Amino acid sequence: MTAIIQTIETPDGAFTILADDEQRVLASGWTAEQDEILARLTVRSRPVDVSKGQTDAAAAALAYYSGELTAIDDVRVAQFGTEMQRRGWAALRTIDPGEPLTYTDFAAALGQPSAVRAAASICARNAPALFVPCHRVLRTDGSLGGFAWGLDVKESLLAREAAA
């Protein structure tokens, strides 16, 4: 598989997008380091050839940061995982901006209310950050929990969405 990588500047810093030849986002995050983006994918799902270029998703990310919070909703993604992970990633895309869920609520939404750790793991293994908004899931006590790209970025995204 071949892929295109692009880094854009956002209010939260450099944001890099890795997309396949069909313009589906494979991985993304707040870094300018290509290796950090590739590391979000399993070895067997990493593209063989990566070149710098323009991604369709970059315009959606910039629109999101300009206040069009739903601009990321239609960006196509490609994710590789178990059936439960794929269901979880699809469910993350249904969480409305400004209305975060707890990990407990997220597990219940997946039909497995006792699988809170599995729900948290689905978030942790989410490679196309922002486009699959795992940042919209919080701890039961309302605290941020974890985020691969740093709690400051998660807090910024949630504040942007709450203000809208």
pLDDT digits (tens, 9 = 90+) for 51-78: 999 999 999 999 999 999 999 999 999 9
Paired tokens of 48: 């063989």
What is the chain's length? 164
Q: How many CB atoms lie within 10 A of CB 62?
A: 15
Q: How does DSSP classify residue 157?
A: H
- Predicted TM-score (pTM) of the model is 0.95
Which pLDDT value is given to residue 88? 96
Give pLDDT, residue 164: 82
CA–chain centroid gap for 7, Å, is 15
3.40.1280.10, 1.10.10.10, 3.40.50.1220, 3.40.50.300: which CATH number matches 83-163?
Answer: 1.10.10.10
With a CB cutoff of 8 Å and minimum separation 6, the contacts of 126 are 79, 89, 92, 132, 134, 148
Q: Tokens for 43, please give them.
A: 């070895």
Q: What's the pLDDT score for residue 113? A: 93
From-to residues of CATH 1.10.10.10 in the chain: 83-163
Please list the ranges in the chain whose pLDDT falls under 50: none
Tell me which residues are annotated as active site. Answer: 134
pLDDT of residue 142: 87
